[in-house]
Amino acid sequence: DADVTQTPRNRITKTGKRIMLECSQTKGHDRMYWYRQDPGLGLRLIYYSFDVKDINKGEISDGYSVSRQAQAKFSLSLESAIPNQTALYFCATSRTGMGNQPQHFGDGTRLSIL
Amino acid sequence: AQSVTQLGSHVSVSEGALVLLRCNYSSSVPPYLFWYVQYPNQGLQLLLKYTSAATLVKGINGFEAEFKKSETSFHLTKPSAHMSDAAEYFCAVSDGGSQGNLIFGKGTKLSVKP
């Protein structure tokens, strides 16, 4: 079983719909992250969480919200989806550290908004 | 603020040839640097990391990278390309401190010709 599991793997939906992407991990890491990947733009950080009570905005948080339901679960919501949120979304985890801890990624959710 | 520049969005090599993927970083503090690989329909996997120990870092699958402070570079190399190396490669720098967030480059897609 994967250490970082994202569901669903693929999702097609319509403009204006509310969508939730879910991430769960078995690595026991405190830190969790949500990124989006667009061709030619690399990965950009949406939100990150250092523990259940600590949620922080990343570079591109507008239009997104998150919930850290437990140490192992971190979900990303699009309250009212728009076409330019079509992208590949990744969840990642890491140990607590001073920037020297690598991040571990799920296999991604491919989201298409029509 | 930290940043990462990957020179060349696409690199093509012949099987058996040297692989060189370039990464330059900008950082006001000693950086932590990472290389990740992304195979189609998968998440990012850690190839190697530099965390201020040896400047020549060896990673998985025969890859290595050398940290050169004077050139602010962390180029990724492999002496002999294999068809299975075809993937997208991302360089990332940590923003250090207690945040530890990663700043990713835009990626370099490596093609390997038979």
B77/B59 Cα distance (integer angstroms): 10
Residue B34 CB burial class (10 angstroms; 0-12, 13-18, ≥19): buried
- Confidence check: pLDDT of B113 > 70: yes
From the centroid of its chain, how far is CA B79? Answer: 15
Residues A27-55 pLDDT 10s: 999 999 999 999 888 999 999 999 999 99
Chain B contacts of A10, Cβ < 8 Å? Answer: none
For B:51-80, CB contacts with A below 8 A are 51-52
- Contact of A34 with chain B, judged by CB distance below 8 Å, is answered with no
Interface contact flag, A42 B106, Cβ < 8 Å: yes
- Contact of B98 with chain A, judged by CB distance below 8 Å, is answered with yes
B109/B37 Cα distance (integer angstroms): 10
Contact call for residues B32 and B49 (beta carbons, < 8 A): yes
Rounded to an integer, the average pLDDT of B85-104 is 85
Chain B contacts of A102, Cβ < 8 Å? Answer: 34, 46, 49
- Contact of B32 with chain A, judged by CB distance below 8 Å, is answered with yes
Residues A54-113 pLDDT 10s: 999 999 999 999 999 999 999 999 999 999 999 999 999 998 876 788 899 999 999 999
Question: B13: which strand partners?
Answer: B112
- Tell me the pLDDT of chain B averaged across its residues: 92
What percent of chain B has a predicted confidence (pLDDT) above 90?
74
A4/A74 Cα distance (integer angstroms): 11
Residue A55, classed as helix, strand or coil, is strand
Work out the pLDDT band at B97, boundaries 50, 70, 90: low
Angle among Cα A73, A79, A80 to the nearest 5 degrees reads 145
Q: What is the DSSP letter of B79?
A: S
For A:86-105, CB contacts with B below 8 A are 90, 92, 94, 96-105
Chain B contacts of A103, Cβ < 8 Å? Answer: 44, 46, 102
- For residue B21, which of B113, B112, B103, B107 has the smallest C-alpha distance? B107
Q: How far is CA B25 from CA A13, B4, B31, B33, B99, in A?
A: 38, 4, 9, 9, 18
B105/B5 Cα distance (integer angstroms): 6
**Which residue in chain B is spatially nearest to A10 when comparing CA positions?**
B41
Q: What is the DSSP letter of A84?
A: G
- For residue B67, which of B100, B106, B96, B27 has the smallest C-alpha distance? B27
Residues B12-66 pLDDT 10s: 999 999 999 999 998 877 789 999 999 988 999 999 999 877 889 999 999 999 9
